[in-house]
Amino acid sequence: MSTSTIVPEVRSMGRQWSRWRPVEIVFWIAALGVCVMPLNNYLLLNEMAILALFAVSLDLILGYTGIVSLGHAAFFGLGAYSAALLAKHFNVDPLLGMLLSCGVAALAGLVTSVLVMRGSDLTRLMVTLGVASILHELANKLGWLTGGADGMTGVPMVPLFGHIEFDLFGKVAYTYSIVTLFVLFVIGRAVVKSPFGMSLQAIRQNPLRAAAMGVPVNLRRTAVYTLSAAYAGVAGALLAQTTGFASLDVLDFHRSADVLLMLMIGGAGYLYGGIIGAVVFRFMQDRLADITPQYWQFWIGLLLVIIVIVGHERLVRPWTWFRRSGGNA
C-alpha cells in the first residue's frame, strides 16, 4: 500500500476519532451547568475538578506514551508555589498567575525530560521520584521564600478580571476550575486524537518499531512530557489560587501516588479515565473518611484489587462476566 493511500486513511480515522459523542456533550453540559445550581459542596467539587486535571496531565505521558512517573507532584507543586508567590508579592490577576505558573512548570518539564528519555521504566520511576524529592527538600529549606514546613498561608487573591471575587462557598472557585479543565481537556483531546497523538501510542506500544517507521521518538516524548508538566502546573496553580494556601503537601510523595491511583481506578490511555478516577477517588475519600476515619484507605485498596482482578472492561460490561473465555465479549 502506497503512502498516498495510507495518509488519507489515517486522516479519515483521525476525523472519526475526534468527533464528539453525545454522551461527552451531555457530560460537559452537566459539569458546567453545576455552576448555576444552588449546592453546598462546591469546595469538594472544586477539588475534584483540580484533581481531574492533574490526573489528565499524568495520563498524557503514562496512558498515551508509556512514560511512568512517581514524581509528577513536582510540576503540581511548582505550579502551586509559583501561583502563590505571584499573588503574594506581585498581586497579579489569577488568570495571568495561572498562565505564568503553567510556563514555569512547562519549563521544568522541558529541562527534566532529558532525564526520562533513556533507561527502563524502573529508571524513570527513580529519576522522577528523585526530582520531586529534590524540589520538596528545596521548598522545605528555603523558608524565607516558601514558608518552609509551615507553608504559605493567607495568600491574597485579587478578583478574577478585576471584578469577580472568590466567595467562601467555593462557587466561583469551582466555575474557574471547571472552565479551565474543560478548555485544557479540549486541547488535550485534540492532541491525542491527532496524528501526533497516534504517534505517541505507537511509541507506547513499541518505541523501536516507531523509530524504524521514522517517528522522532525522543522529540515526541519531550513534547508530551512538557505538555503534561504544563497541565500539572495549571492544576497546582488552581489549588493555590482557590484555597489561598501552598505547602509542602503539594510536593509530597502521596500526591504522585494518589494521582496514579486515580488513573488505575478510571483507566489510563483514556482522558475521561483520569476525570472519572479523580471523582471516584475524592468522593470515596470524603465519604469513607466520615464512616471509617481510620480505615478509609482499606476500601480504596479493596476497589483497586477488584479492578485488577475483574478489569475495567468487565466492570462497565458486567454481562460479559459469565461468557466463556473463548467467546467474543
Q: Give tens-digit pLDDT for 109-137.
A: 999 998 888 777 888 889 999 999 999 99
In contact, 48 and 238? CB cutoff 8 Å? no
CA torsion, ordered 271, 277, 283, 287, to nearest 10 deg:
180
Mean pLDDT of 307-322: 63
Instruction: Give the closest residue to 231 by CA, choosing from 85, 51, 47.
Output: 51
Name the CA radius of gyration of the chain, rounded: 21
Tell me what pLDDT residue 6 has: 46
In this structure, are residues 211 and 82 in contact, taking their beta carbons and an 8 Å threshold?
Answer: no
Cell numbers representing residue 133 in the block: 524529592
C-alpha cell of residue 179? 472552565
**pLDDT tens, 185-236?**
999 999 999 999 999 999 999 998 999 999 999 999 999 999 999 999 999 9
End-to-end alpha carbon distance in the chain: 32
**Rounded to two decimals, what is the model's pTM?**
0.91
Cα pseudo-dihedral 272, 273, 276, 277, rounded to 10 = -150
Which of 233-247, 257-271, 292-306 shows the highest mean pLDDT? 233-247
SS3 call for 110: helix
- Position 274 confidence tier, pLDDT thresholds 50, 70, 90: very high
User: CA triplet 166, 289, 281: central angle to 5 degrees?
Assistant: 70
Distance CA 78, CA 134 (A): 12
Each domain of the chain, given as residue ranges in start order, spans 18-259
pLDDT, residue 3, reads 42
* Beta pairing partners, 246: 152
pLDDT at position 27: 94
Sign of the C-alpha dihedral computed for residues 220, 224, 230 and 232 taken in this order: negative
Would you state the cell numbers that stand for residue 273, as one nine-digit string? 479515565
The string of DSSP letters for 161-185 reads TTTBPPPTTSHHHHHHHHHHHHHHH
Place 51 in a pLDDT band, splitting at 50, 70 and 90: very high
The C-alpha atoms of residue 155 and residue 243 are separated, in whole angstroms, by: 8
